[in-house]
Amino acid sequence: MADFPTETHPLLPFTPPNAKLLMLGSFPPPRVRWKMDFYYPNFQNDMWRIFGLVFFDDKDYFVEAGGKAFKERLIRDFLNEKGIAISDTAYKIKRLQGNAADKFLQIVEPVDLAALLAQMPRCNTLMTTGELATDTLLQLMPSETVKPAIGAFSKAQFAGRCLRLYRLPSSSRAYPLALAKKAEAYAGFFREIGLLEAV
């Protein structure tokens, strides 16, 4: 049996003090795939194209001219302004296949969610992007917490707060849904929680 090295999360959680929403993925890809030192750094991941479509009707809004990297400063400024925090559900992992595919990640230690939320007193909404992130988050919640369907939410009491746990389609291209359909789901979510004006 191969002994896979344990990796500790390479990024600090992004926690604007005004955050109302915490987005949680699973774990970043190997650094060789990164196009910036921030969350969703793989250029093949569509999270920042989804954000561009949802908030600016332009999938390349957060993409550098030439289409080879993301505009990290612009992304950080936008998230700060909107009050959107980002972290991952895993703090330490083993990669069983050398990539970030959910089915090949073994979570050694989950994120310290209570400590994370303590930095954001106004945050009562959590959103996961993908199956592994959702399952890992649920393991931190009370046992009676219901797993939300994609596009829906469940409620949980945690660390003295009543939380809404939403689940949205993965931004990975491995998830078989067109970019426009993913953006539609995210737009509905952001409208529901008050971060996007109703049409």
Host H or E run for residue 75: helix 72-82
The reported pLDDT for the residue numbered 101 is 67
The reported pLDDT for the residue numbered 195 is 96
The reported pLDDT for the residue numbered 100 is 60
Confidence (pTM): 0.94
DSSP 8-state code for residue 14: B
The reported pLDDT for the residue numbered 1 is 44
The reported pLDDT for the residue numbered 174 is 87
The reported pLDDT for the residue numbered 99 is 64
- Of 15, 57, 47, 22, nearest in space to 197 by CA: 57
Number of other residues whose CB lies within 10 A of the CB of residue 149: 9
CB 89 within 8 A of CB 128: yes
- Of 108, 128, 105, nearest in space to 21 by CA: 128
The reported pLDDT for the residue numbered 2 is 60
Assigned token pair, 195 = 């971060």
Residue by residue, pLDDT tens for the chain (199 residues) are 467 889 999 999 999 999 999 999 999 988 998 999 999 999 999 999 999 999 999 999 999 998 889 999 999 999 999 999 999 999 999 988 866 667 778 899 999 999 999 999 999 999 999 899 999 999 999 999 999 999 999 999 999 999 999 999 999 998 889 999 999 999 999 999 999 997 6
